[in-house]
Structure 1
Amino acid sequence: MLRDEISVCRLTRLAVERHYRDLAHGGARGLVFRLDMASHVLSFFPRFCRHSKGEWAGKPVDLADWQAFWLAVEFGWYNTTGKRRFRTWYEEVARKNGKSTKLAGLGIYLFAADGEPGAEVYTAATKLEQAKITHNEAQMMVGQSPALRQLVTAQHEKLFIAGTSCKYVPLGADANTSDGLNVHGAIIDELHAHPNRLLWDVIDSGRGSRRNSLMHAITTAGFDQEGSICLEQRQYLISILEGTLEDDSFGGVIYTLDPEDEWRDESAWCKANPNLGVSVFLDELRSQARKAAGVPAAQFNFLTKRLNLWTQQIDAWLSLDAWDKGSEAFEESLLLDRPCFGGLDLASTTDLTAWILVFPPCPRDPHWRVVCRFFVPEDNMPLRERKDRVPYQLWAQQGHIIATPGNVVDQEMIRQQILADADVYDLREVAFDEWNSAKLATELGEAGILMVKIPQNFGGLSTPTKHLEGLVLAGRLMHAGNPVLRWNAGNVVLLRDTNDNYRPNKKKSRDRIDGIVALCMALNRALFGGEDEMEPGIILL
C-alpha cells in the first residue's frame, strides 16, 4: 500500500501509515509489536477454522493478505506492561468481503485460544435473534473443524469448553442478560444498524476487570447520518488517524472511496472491496452499478452496501461526500477584513440555536467561508443527547457548541456573542426568523446592527438554498468540518413547489437543521443585501 502498488483510499492509507510509524517510534510510548502474538492468531485460522458454506465448505480458512495484515496489527501490538494495546477495534468495509467468516474465527479465537481464564465472548446485535444468526456462523465453523469439535461443546446456541467457565454466546439488546457481564471479547457486526449506544455501553462497562479485553466492531456504511454510535466510533477513528486525537487503545481501518472518486469508475471499486476477485466479483458489481444508474433507490443501496459510502435517506438533499470537500480547517483571523453576513435561527426554549456567519469570496480567495456558533442550554444537554442521538456534550468540550447556563435558551448570552462577532468582523447584515426572535432582534438593532427579517417561505429561502447547493457541489463552501453543521446538513429534506422552487423543510427533515436554515438566511443577505446606505435597525422583507 505504501509503495502505491495497491489502490486504497486515504483513510486506509492513514491506518497503514499509523502502523509503520508506530513500528519506528511507538517504543517511546511504551508500545511493542510482538510477532509471536501476531503469528499466533494468524496460524489459528488455517489450522483450526473451516469454511461452512459454498464452494469452500470444509476447507481451511486461508486469510486474504489484507485480512491477515489487520489481524496481525490488532493482535500483535502490546504495551510494555504486557497488556494488549488495542481494546477497541473499528473496521468498515463493503459487503461480501468475508466479514462473517473472519468474525466467526475471531470470536472462537478469543473464546478458546487467547489464553484468558474464564473467557466470556459475545456476538452482539440489537436483537437476540439477529445475534443468533451471526453467532450461527461460529457454531457451524466449530462443527466443520475436527479439532474444535473435540474441545468445544454447543448447547442451546451457546458454545462452552468443558471444565472451564469459558463461554461464547449471542447477546441482544432486547435480552435480559445485559447486566453483570464480565467481557473478554465482543464481536459486534453491522454496527450501523444499532439505533442507539445502549448495548455498546453495556458491553464496554462490562470489561473493566479484564486485562486484555477486546471489543471488535465491523460494519458496512449505513443510511443513518444522525450521529449514531457507529458514526461516533467512525469519526473517533478518523480523528486518531488524522492526528487530531491520540488514543493508543483504539484501532481500526476504513475501506471506502475517496470523495473525489466517481462511483461509476470501476478502478475505484477496489478501495471499498479489498476482497475483489476472491469473494467479491467484478461482473456482479457491474450488474448492480448498471441498475444503480437508472434506479435511485438501487443507487443508494449500491453506494452504501457495495462501495461503503455513507448516504442519506433517499429524500434527503445534500451529499455528505460533497459536503466534506469543504472540511479543510482555516483560521478565523484570516477573515477579519472581509465583509460578512449573519443568519440567526433562534431556538424556542431548550433546543439548538444557530448563529452562522458567511464570508463571500474575495479577490484572493474564491471560496465562501462559514463560521458557526451553536448554543444549547447546558442543563438540557444529557436529555438532548438521548433525544437527538448526537454527542452534544463532546461537541461542547471540543468547542463546537457553546453551553449556556440553565435549562432554557440564554438570549442575552447569544446577544453578547453576536455583538462580540460584530466588533471583530465586518458584519454588514444579520438575517433572522421573526418567530421567537423579536426581542433579541430589536436589541441588536438598537445596538447598531442591521437586522433583516427573512420570511420562511420560497421567496425568502429558495434562491439561497439553490445557491448553497451549487456551492457544495462545486466544492466552494468551506465550513472547516464543523460536526454540528454537518449533522444538520445530513438531516435536510426539501419542500418543493410546482415551479421548482425549494427550501429546507423543518417538519419533514429527520432531525435538527437549524444550522442550514441559518446558513440559507445568511446567504440571502450575502446575495441580495450589502447596501452601505441602509441604516441599522430592523428591515422587513
Structure 2
Amino acid sequence: MPAADVRRGDGEDVADFIESLCTVTKDTFAGPSGSPLTLRGWQHDLLGHLFARRKDGRRRHRVALIGEPRKNGKSGLGAGIALDGLFDGMGAEVYSCAGDKEQARIVFGDARRMVEASPDLSAAIKCYKDALEVVDTGSVYRCLSAEAFTKEGLSPTRVLFDELHVQPNPDLWNVMALAAGARLDPMLIGITTAGVKSDSTGKDSICYRLFQYGQRLAAGEEVDPSFFMAWWGAPDDADHRRPETWQMANPAYGDLIDPEDFEAAVKRTPEAEFRTKRLNQWVNTAETWLPAGSWDACRGELDAISDHVEVCLGFDGSFNGDSTALVVVSCPVDGEAPHVDVVEAWERPAEAGPGWTVPILDVEAAIRAACRRWDVREIVCDPYRWGRTYQVLEDEGLPIVEFPQSPARMIPATTRFYEAVMNRTVTHSGDPRLARHLANCVVRTDSRGSRLSKDAKHSPRKIDLAISAVMALERACQEPEPEPEPQFFSWADL
C-alpha cells in the first residue's frame, strides 16, 4: 500500500478518538475497567492502513478482513471503530453484526459501556436498549444478528462483523454489502478469528472465502485495492505447544495476554480448537491430506524447469464451475528428484457471471506451447468432458495418454505423491496456486484405499492443480515404454 495513502488517511484521527474517549470495559490483564483504552503500535499501524485514502480523497478500502487470535483486543478495538463511525457525517448508520444475538451484543455492549463511562460521549450520544443515537446528526448504531434476517431497507455507512467465521451462511454479509452501495465510502469490516472452512451449507464460509481472496491478492494473483486484509497467525507447520509459536501468532502476547493463560490452555484444549482460537489457523472439517508444512519443506532451488528437459504434463479440466489446470513434472534422471511446477491455471474470475466457461482454445494453445518448450513424454489427462480437445491434439501428433481418475489409478498415484512429499524426494517452485489447491485436498478412505477429494461435495475450493500434479508425477516416475523393435521382412518371407 502506498505510504502516502496512509498519511492522508483517517487512521490517526480514529486512534485519537479511541484513546481520548474510549475506556477498558472489563478488568483484564491489560488494565482495570474504566481505565483509558491505550492502543499499541501495531493497532495504530492497523488503523492507518484500514482508513487510508487515495489521492482523490476517497477511502482506499471498502471491505476489510482483520484476523487475530482470541484475547488480542478485538472487541474493544471494534467498539471504538464503531463509535467513531457514529460521527462520520450526517445520518450515519453503524451496525454490529454476528452469527447470533448473544455474539452480536458483545461489541455493541462494549460500545455502550464506553459511552456510559465517558462524560463527553454520553453528552453527545443517547443510549437505548438496542441502539445508540447521536440526536444532533441523526446517526444511529445498532446490533444485528443472522438469526433475525430482516435487514432490507438499511443504508449502512460502517459495519462491524464480529467473529465473521461463525456466520451460518453469507446472506447477512451480502445484504449489508449491497445495502451500503448508495453511501459514499462505506466500510464493511470483518474482525474475526479463524475457524472451520465450511459453513452450515457445506460450502466455504464467507470468512474463509475472503481469507482466500486476501491470500490471492497478497500473492499477486489478483489486484483489488478496495479490499484490505490484516491477518495475525502462526504458520501451519508451527508446533502449537511452544511459547515461540504463541508469541509469533499473538501481537498482544505478554501485553494484553497473560503468557500463563497459554500454558494452562494448551494442556486442556483440543489441538484443533487451540490452533483456531489461539493461533488463528484454519482447520478442515475432514482430515487434511498433506501434513501442515510438508509441501513447503519440498521447495527447491529451481524457479522453473529448464527448456528441452524431458517432462510429463498433467491436465485436469472442466468447462465451467471448477478450474482447469496444466502442471509439468520433470522426469527423474540420474537420481535427481522430479520437479513440479504450474504451466497454467484457469479459474473463474471473481467478477465473472454464471455464464463463464473455460477458454478452450487458450487451453489447447498452452498445451502446444508446453510441447514446444519441453521434451514432453506424455500429456496425462482424464478424458471426461475434454474428448474433442484430446482428439485434436492427438491428431497433431502430441503424446496424449488417458488417465481416468478411477480408484485403481488414483489410489496408487495419490500414495506415490504423498510418500514423495513426506520423504522430500520431490521438489517444486513454490507456486501459490498449487499450494492452495493442495491445501484444499482432504482424504476420503474406503475399502479400496485413500484418494483425494474436496472437503465438501459442493465446495468451491479448487483441487484441480493438485490432481494434475498427482497424475503427472505418477507417469513421470514410470519407466518409459520401450520403443518397438523394428522388424524386417524379405520377399521370401511373404
| TM-score computed with the length of structure 1 as normaliser | 0.72
Question: What is the deviation of 1:524?
Answer: 1.6
Aligned partner (choices 400, 422, 425) of residue 374 of structure 2? 425
Residues 213 and 312 of structure 1: CA distance in aligned 2, closer, same or farther (over 3 Å): same
- 1:59 equivalent to 2:34? Answer yes
Provide Cα deviations, 1:388-432, integer angstroms capped at 9, x if missing partner. Answer: xxxxx7xxxxxxxx833xxxxx5x775555344333322112333
Residues 89 and 326 of structure 1: CA distance in aligned 2, closer, same or farther (over 3 Å): farther
Residues 523 and 115 of structure 1: CA distance in aligned 2, closer, same or farther (over 3 Å): closer
Residues 363 and 104 of structure 1: CA distance in aligned 2, closer, same or farther (over 3 Å): farther
Aligned partner (choices 358, 382, 390) of residue 403 of structure 1? 358
Aligned partner (choices 413, 416, 427) of residue 464 of structure 1? 413
Moved more, 100-109 or 54-63: 54-63
Question: What is the deviation of 1:245?
Answer: 6.5
Moved more, 299-308 or 463-472: 463-472
CA contact (8 A) 1:121 1:186 kept: yes
SS in 1 for 2:475: helix
Aligned-partner Cα distance in 2 for 1:244–1:436? 27
Aligned-partner Cα distance in 2 for 1:67–1:331? 34
Hey, what does 2:442 align to over in structure 1? Answer: 493
Hey, what does 1:390 align to over in structure 2? Answer: none
- 1:518 equivalent to 2:468? Answer yes
Residues 143 and 48 of structure 1: CA distance in aligned 2, closer, same or farther (over 3 Å): same
Aligned partner (choices 433, 438, 450) of residue 502 of structure 1? 450
Residues 278 and 186 of structure 1: CA distance in aligned 2, closer, same or farther (over 3 Å): same
Hey, what does 2:80 align to over in structure 1? Answer: 105
Aligned partner (choices 273, 284, 297) of residue 301 of structure 1? 273
Question: What is the deviation of 1:273?
Answer: 0.9
Hey, what does 2:340 align to over in structure 1? Answer: 369
Aligned partner (choices 162, 168, 171) of residue 135 of structure 2? 162
Provide Cα deviations, 1:42-76, integer angstroms capped at 9, x if missing partner. Answer: 34334432333345564224334245423551477
Question: What is the deviation of 1:530?
Answer: 2.5
Residues 227 and 443 of structure 1: CA distance in aligned 2, closer, same or farther (over 3 Å): same
Count of residue pairs brought into register by the alignment:
475
Question: What is the deviation of 1:230?
Answer: 3.1
CA contact (8 A) 1:329 1:480 kept: no
Residues 146 and 367 of structure 1: CA distance in aligned 2, closer, same or farther (over 3 Å): farther
Question: What is the deviation of 1:266?
Answer: 1.6
- 1:254 equivalent to 2:204? Answer no
User: Where does structure 1 lack aligned partners over 5 or more consecutive residues?
Assistant: 1-17, 293-297, 385-392, 394-401, 405-409, 536-541
CA contact (8 A) 1:32 1:80 kept: no
Question: What is the deviation of 1:363?
Answer: 7.5
Question: What is the deviation of 1:521?
Answer: 1.8
Hey, what does 1:12 align to over in structure 2? Answer: none
Provide Cα deviations, 1:19-61, integer angstroms capped at 9, x if missing partner. Answer: xx72xxx3xxxx46269x5554334334432333345564224
Residues 361 and 253 of structure 1: CA distance in aligned 2, closer, same or farther (over 3 Å): farther
Moved more, 159-168 or 194-203: 194-203
Question: What is the deviation of 1:526?
Answer: 1.2
Hey, what does 1:478 align to over in structure 2? Answer: 428
Aligned-partner Cα distance in 2 for 1:488–1:243? 16
Q: How does 1:124-163 map to 2 (within 5 A)?
A: 124-126=97-99, 130-163=103-136
Identify the structure with the greater helix proportion. Answer: 1
Aligned-partner Cα distance in 1 for 2:300–2:103? 40
User: Where does structure 2 lack aligned partners over 5 or more consecutive residues?
Assistant: 486-494
SS in 1 for 2:17: helix
Residues 507 and 214 of structure 1: CA distance in aligned 2, closer, same or farther (over 3 Å): closer
Aligned-partner Cα distance in 1 for 2:331–2:238? 28
Percent identity, aligned pairs only, is 26
Whichever residue aligns with residue 502 of structure 1, its letter is: S
Provide Cα deviations, 1:516-537, integer angstroms capped at 9, x if missing partner. Answer: 33322222211224335279xx
Aligned-partner Cα distance in 2 for 1:329–1:233? 31
Aligned-partner Cα distance in 1 for 2:204–2:340? 24
SS in 2 for 1:137: helix
CA contact (8 A) 1:108 1:138 kept: yes
